[in-house]
Amino acid sequence: MNTEKLDQVVEELKAIVGEENVITDPALLYCYSADASINQHMPDVVVRPGKTEEVSEVLKLANRERIPVHPRGGGTSLSGSVVPYGGGIVVDMTRMNKIIDIRPADLWCIVEAGVIHADLERELAKYGLFYPPDPASSESATIGGTIATNAGGLRGVKYGTTRDWVLGLEVVLPTGDVINVGTKTLKTSSGYQLCRLFVGSEGTLGIITKAVLKLLPIPKARVRVMGVFDSVVDAARAVSQIFMAGITPGLLEFVDKNAQKAINSWLNLGLPETEAILIIDLEGSTEEEPLKLAPYLERVLKENGAIEARYTSDPEEMNKLYLARAKAYPAMFRLGKPTVLVEDITVPVEKLPEAVKKVYEITEKHGILMGIIGHIGDGNFHPLLVYDERDPEEVERVMKCHDEINELAIKLGGTVTGEHAVGKVKAKYFLKEHSPEEIELMRGIKRVFDPNGIMNPGILWGE
Ligand SMILES: Cc1cc2nc3c(=O)[nH]c(=O)nc-3n(C[C@H](O)[C@H](O)[C@H](O)COP(=O)(O)OP(=O)(O)OC[C@H]3O[C@@H](n4cnc5c(N)ncnc54)[C@H](O)[C@@H]3O)c2cc1C
């Protein structure tokens, strides 16, 4: 945007949201130029609306002037989907952070899009309720951002991902029109499911301002089981056997040796540092239920290659095992290099042993330090590539791993992103994962909602 136009736009934005909610200071704009990926681009201006009407006015202005708009929640995207590649206006949604209504009897709540995920969790707990999607970034990610990326998390193996828990949405379209899609009922078969279309749309179709979210009562009892393996392939193979044994875990997580080492060196959790551990939750509606099942699960694990299996219902011990998984990604920064590229490929569960084995082969071939963690119960795992982004030769080797890992996912009938979304980081592979016909249909949908292409240019198909 040239200076004259920017000055005029800034004045109009100030009139909409108030001077204090428009940011033009380059030092502050810099904070909005990046997310948790390695991508970066400066915006021209940041605006912080406080209500839906203000979002609507901002979008009318942007559409009229054909200015790129980049909605932003917590900025925790790992796929570069919140970087303002088009410059233009970043719409920071974090002032819209009200929990509007909680209806325990109906099992839903209504929240504004800027509510921090963990704040909602804490509020719902007061009613004995929970909202199942649980990204490990919960303390910073917003409800709007998690909907826009169809976020998953540790509980996904039993409860699915965000798309399964969003009943309705208020959305501001690029024209500034405000629409309500979805329902407040627990099911509907009424026409095209437009609500679902916005889930995972990565801010390319409009700005989510409110959401109706489905809830559940918190399970009464839980035990946590650790299976210890001296082979990553055995651990991956055990996953499908757990389901085949008739067990539906509340979470089923994988942590490999390098990740265990990193976590031990940071949090001193006393993890065994074997080739792999599985962390598994059993939940029940009575205290006895999971305790009864735990010895059976231990047996299943041992029959399927675990060298040791043990369970605990002690809250402190359970929390240690939870942290072993939830803090694994930041722990990797302690392995001596400043950059971590997080993959999030997902494969059919049956292909897990092959996929995990091949990923080790790929990183060994290119000499890249890696740890693997994952929501392995739903076939989703995160190879964490540790490197130094200031070393061009190492970056080149990491990018080769990145290519080969994502191509492997496609080859095995999987997907290149199980939960972090496409953004920029996965754009190239996204175009390979889907047929040209499917991509053209997606582009057609984009044109219907956003004919001037102002919403989040630069992500999904990279334009
Ligand atoms: C330490 C760490 C752990 C993580 N763990 C997980 C995990 O377990 N599971 C998982 O799925 N992800 C995880 N992530 C990735 C990230 O947290 C998720 O993608 C999260 O959903 C992003 O939420 P956010 O509010 O930060 O969105 P942002 O990063 O701000 O934005 C993400 C995308 O959503 C769009 N967007 C944001 N708000 C809106 C809105 N109101 N309307 C329309 N579009 C909007 C943006 O334009 C962008 O395209 C992790 C990230 C980190 C750093």
- Please choose from 31, 72, 210 the residue to mutate so as to test ligand 1's pocket, defined by most ligand atoms within 8 A of CB: 72
Residues 85 and 109 in one domain: no
| pLDDT score of 461 | 80
Q: Residues with Cβ within 6 A of ligand 1?
A: 35-36, 70-78, 81-82, 93, 113, 135-137, 141-142, 144-146, 148-149, 151-153, 202-203, 207-208, 329-330, 419-421, 456
Domain harbouring 357, CATH code: 3.30.70.2740
Residues 107 and 175 in one domain: yes
What angle do helix axes 392-411 and 352-365 make, rounded to 10 degrees?
160
Question: Is residue 389 domain-resident?
Answer: yes
- Please choose from 51, 70, 77 the residue to mutate so as to test ligand 1's pocket, defined by most ligand atoms within 8 A of CB: 77
Residues 20 and 81 in one domain: yes
Question: Is residue 165 domain-resident?
Answer: yes
| Domain-terminating residue out of 56, 74, 92 | 92
| pLDDT score of 86 | 86
Residues 25 and 104 in one domain: no
- Residue 208 CA, closest ligand 1 atom number: 42
Residues 260 and 320 in one domain: yes
| pLDDT score of 463 | 67
- Residue 77 CA, closest ligand 1 atom number: 29
Distance in Å, CA 75 to ligand 1 centroid: 6
- Close Cβ partners of 203 (under 8 Å, ≥ 6 residues apart): 70, 71, 81, 82, 148, 455, 456
Average pLDDT of the chain, as a whole number: 95
Q: How far apart (Å, rounded) are the C-alpha atoms in residues 165 and 156?
A: 11
Residues 360 and 429 in one domain: yes
Residues 12 and 47 in one domain: yes
Specify the residue with its C-alpha closest to ligand 1, atom 52.
137
Question: Is residue 154 domain-resident?
Answer: yes
Q: How far is CA 379 from the centre of its chain?
A: 15
How many residues are given for the chain? Answer: 463
Residues 74-114 have pLDDT tens digits of: 999 999 999 999 899 999 999 999 999 999 999 999 999 99
| Domain-terminating residue out of 37, 60, 92 | 92
Domain harbouring 41, CATH code: 3.30.43.10
Question: Is residue 384 domain-resident?
Answer: yes
| pLDDT score of 435 | 96
Residues 247-295 have pLDDT tens digits of: 999 999 999 999 999 999 999 999 999 999 999 999 998 999 999 999 9
Residues 220-233 have pLDDT tens digits of: 999 999 999 999 99
Specify the residue with its C-alpha closest to ligand 1, atom 49.
202
Q: What is the layout of strands, in order, in the sheet containing 69-72?
A: 22-23, 45-47, 89-92, 69-72
Residues 375 and 423 in one domain: yes
- Close Cβ partners of 341 (under 8 Å, ≥ 6 residues apart): 38, 384, 385, 387, 398, 402
Residues 139 and 170 in one domain: yes
| pLDDT score of 397 | 98
Contact, 148 vs 207, CB < 8 A? no
What CA–CA distances, in Å, run from 48 to 21, 23, 55, 58?
5, 8, 9, 10
- Residue 161 CA, closest ligand 1 atom number: 11
Residues 310-341 have pLDDT tens digits of: 999 999 999 999 999 888 999 999 888 999 99
Question: Is residue 462 domain-resident?
Answer: no
| Mean pLDDT of the 32-54 span | 96
Domain harbouring 208, CATH code: 3.30.465.10
166: domain range? 99-217
Question: Is residue 463 domain-resident?
Answer: no
Residues 7 and 113 in one domain: no
| pLDDT score of 462 | 65
User: Three-class SS string for the chain?
Assistant: CCHHHHHHHHHHHHHHHCHHHEECCHHHHHHCCECCCCCECCCCEEECCCCHHHHHHHHHHHHHHCCCEEEECCCCCCCCCCCCCCCCEEEECCCCCCEEEEECCCCEEEEECCCEHHHHHHHHHCCCEECCCCCCCCCCCEHHHHHHCCCCCCCHHHHCCHHHCEEEEEEECCCCCEEEEECCCCCCCCCCCHHHHHCCCCCCCCEEEEEEEECEECCCEEEEEEEEECCHHHHHHHHHHHHHCCCCCCEEEEEEHHHHHHHHHHHCCCCCCCCEEEEEEEEECCCHHHHHHHHHHHHHHHHCCEEEEEEECCHHHHHHHHHHHHCHHHHHHHHCCCEEEECECECCHHHHHHHHHHHHHHHHHCCCEEEEEEEHHHCEEEEEEEECCCCHHHHHHHHHHHHHHHHHHHHCCCECECCCCCCCCCHHHHHHHCCHHHHHHHHHHHHHHCCCCCECCCCCCCC
Specify the residue with its C-alpha closest to ligand 1, atom 53.
76
Question: Is residue 456 domain-resident?
Answer: no
| Domain-terminating residue out of 299, 329, 359 | 329
Distance in Å, CA 425 to ligand 1 centroid: 14
Nearest to 76 by CA among 48, 24, 105, 118: 118
Domain harbouring 243, CATH code: 3.30.70.2190
- Please choose from 420, 446, 460 the residue to mutate so as to test ligand 1's pocket, defined by most ligand atoms within 8 A of CB: 420
| pLDDT score of 430 | 96
| Number of domains within the chain | 4
Residues 70 and 128 in one domain: no
Give the model's confidence band at 398: pLDDT under 50 very low, under 70 low, under 90 confident, else very high.
very high
- Please choose from 149, 341, 346 the residue to mutate so as to test ligand 1's pocket, defined by most ligand atoms within 8 A of CB: 149
Residues 248 and 285 in one domain: yes
Question: Is residue 457 domain-resident?
Answer: no
- Residue 113 CA, closest ligand 1 atom number: 41
